[in-house]
């Protein structure tokens, strides 16, 4: 909460916050409005508005036979990746927080996927997974795990799992650093006190540390939810959503409809539905985390 100087009129604030408001309205809210408006318009393949289309775009989209599978896959994508990211980031954060020689180097190594562009991280994974020249096949064959090269991305179910693995890989660094930030606010004496009291390491973690890092964890989850739902480059670079639409999420499907099929109106309706889905995800998330807080 702010330390009140005095309650000022709205106008007094304007010179300070107007530029920020201008940017938010001009380049975040306007495109959102523009997109929703476009979803009710008929737009030619060259991008010229032909007039209102009513719900036609939504109708075309909803009868798309691939949509149900894409929706289910999007759900698996978001929930699965957030779950595994958090699950792995908790012990990773412990390791980043512990004291041992070379900790700084380990922290720097974990930072790399966070700092590097997701497009470039996705490209190297595509190369690692390459059926002929990829290092993963080479290693698996040298270790006699299999005798013939395997195309990891041939089966859409497998390739979708690999895509999720890459997404978890690029999400862990940010998440574990947010948890680490939460851990570093815990005073050492609290942890020491619990050890003196004879609490086992697990119990100490479960009952003392975990509740204290929960706020940081919730923030990390919310941000991951948004990022992963919108994750585009991983799928785009590694499988392109293919074969067909078999590894698409709603985000890549929307992009394909607009910039490959040139149907801007229909794609805008996909994106508008996306917006509703992400708001619903966040709404449910906030509700669950609030009720959790009340219970504890």
Partner 1 sequence: MTTQIVPKLHKRFTGKKVSLTISAWVLGFLFFAPYLQMLLTALKPQEEITAIPPTYFPKEWAFDNFINVWKEIPLGTFIKSSFIISMSATLIVMFIAIPAAYYVARNDFRGRKPFLFLVLVTQMFAPTALVIGIFREIVKLQLVNTYLGLILVYAAFNMAFSIWILTSFFSSIPKEIEEAAWIDGCSRFSTLTRIVLPLSLPGLATAFIFTFIAAWNEFVIALTLTSSPEQEPLTVGLTALIGFYQVQWQYLFAGSLIAIVPVVILFASIEKWLVGGLTAGSVK
Q: Which residues pair with 43 in a beta bridge?
A: 49
Q: Which residues of 248-268 are buried (b: 16+ CB within 10 A; e: fewer)?
A: bbbbbbbbbbbeeeebbbbbb
Tell me: cis bond preceding 220? Omega within 30 of 0 counts: no
CB of 32 vs partner 1, minimal distance in Å: 6
CB of 120 vs partner 1, minimal distance in Å: 4
CB of 20 vs partner 1, minimal distance in Å: 4
With CB under 8 A as the contact rule, the residue among 64, 84, 219, 262 that binds partner 1 is: 219
Pairing of strands 49-52, 41-43: antiparallel
Residues 191-210 that bind partner 1 (CB under 8 A): none
Binding mask 111-140 for partner 1 (x = CB under 8 A): xxxxxxxxxxx-xxx-xx---xxxx-xx--
With CB under 8 A as the contact rule, the residue among 58, 77, 152, 177 that binds partner 1 is: 177
With CB under 8 A as the contact rule, the residue among 24, 62, 87, 193 that binds partner 1 is: 24
CB 91 within 8 A of CB 172: no
Query: Rounded CA gap, 274 and 234, in Å?
Result: 18
Query: Rounded CA gap, 215 and 217, in Å?
Result: 5
Q: Is 92 in the site for partner 1 (CB under 8 A)?
A: yes
With CB under 8 A as the contact rule, the residue among 216, 221, 235, 238 that binds partner 1 is: 216
Cβ-based burial of 196 (10 A; exposed 0-12, middle 13-18, buried ≥19): exposed
Residues 239-258 that bind partner 1 (CB under 8 A): 251, 254-255, 258
**In this structure, how many other beta carbons lie within 10 angstroms of the beta carbon of residue 97?**
18
Size of the chain, expressed as the number of residues it contains: 296
Helix (H, G, I), strand (E, B) or coil at 186: coil
CB 152 within 8 A of CB 129: yes
Residues 258-277 that bind partner 1 (CB under 8 A): 258-259, 264, 267-268, 271, 274-275
Q: How many residues bind partner 1 (CB under 8 A)?
A: 104
Residues 43-62 that bind partner 1 (CB under 8 A): 47
With CB under 8 A as the contact rule, the residue among 50, 72, 83, 108 that binds partner 1 is: 108
Q: Is 28 in the site for partner 1 (CB under 8 A)?
A: yes
Closest CA to 186 of 205, 219, 213: 213
Question: Of 13-21, 51-59, 150-158, 241-249, which segment contacts partner 1 by CB under 8 A?
Answer: 13-21
CB 249 within 8 A of CB 277: no
Question: Of 24-32, 58-66, 72-80, 153-161, which segment contacts partner 1 by CB under 8 A?
Answer: 24-32
With CB under 8 A as the contact rule, the residue among 61, 78, 110, 153 that binds partner 1 is: 110
Q: Is 8 in the site for partner 1 (CB under 8 A)?
A: yes
CB of 227 vs partner 1, minimal distance in Å: 7
**Which secondary structure element, helix H or strand E, spans residue 164, and what is its range?**
helix 156-184
Nearer to partner 1, 37 or 157 (CB): 37
């Amino acid at each position: 909460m702010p330390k009140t100087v005095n309650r000022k009129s709205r106008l007094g604030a304007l010179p300070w916050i107007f530029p920020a408001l201008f940017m938010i309205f001009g380049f975040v809210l306007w495109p959102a409005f523009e997109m929703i408006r476009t979803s009710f318009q008929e737009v030619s393949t060259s991008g010229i508005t032909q007039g209102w289309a009513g719900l036609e775009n939504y109708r075309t989209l909803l009868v798309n036979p691939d949509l149900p599978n894409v929706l289910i896959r999007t759900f698996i994508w978001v929930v699965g990746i957030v779950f595994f990211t958090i699950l792995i980031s908790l012990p990773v954060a412990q390791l980043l927080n512990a004291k041992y020689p070379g900790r700084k180097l380990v922290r720097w190594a974990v930072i790399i996927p966070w700092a590097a562009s997701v497009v470039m991280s996705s490209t190297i994974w595509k190369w690692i997974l390459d059926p002929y020249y990829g290092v993963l096949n080479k290693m698996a064959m040298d270790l006699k795990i299999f005798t013939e090269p395997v195309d990891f991305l041939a089966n859409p179910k497998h390739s979708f799992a690999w895509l999720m693995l890459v997404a978890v890989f690029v999400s862990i660094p940010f998440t574990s650093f947010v948890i680490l930030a939460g851990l570093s606010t815990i005073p050492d004496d609290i942890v020491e006190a619990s050890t003196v009291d004879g609490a086992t390491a697990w119990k100490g973690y479960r009952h003392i540390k975990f509740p204290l890092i929960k706020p940081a964890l919730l923030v990390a989850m919310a941000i991951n939810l948004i990022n992963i739902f919108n994750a585009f480059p991983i799928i785009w670079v590694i499988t392109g959503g293919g074969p067909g639409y078999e590894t698409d999420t709603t985000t890549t499907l929307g992009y394909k409809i607009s910039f490959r099929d040139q149907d801007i109106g229909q794609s805008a309706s996909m994106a508008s539905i996306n917006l509703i889905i992400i708001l619903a995800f966040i709404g449910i998330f906030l509700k669950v985390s609030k009720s959790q807080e009340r219970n504890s």
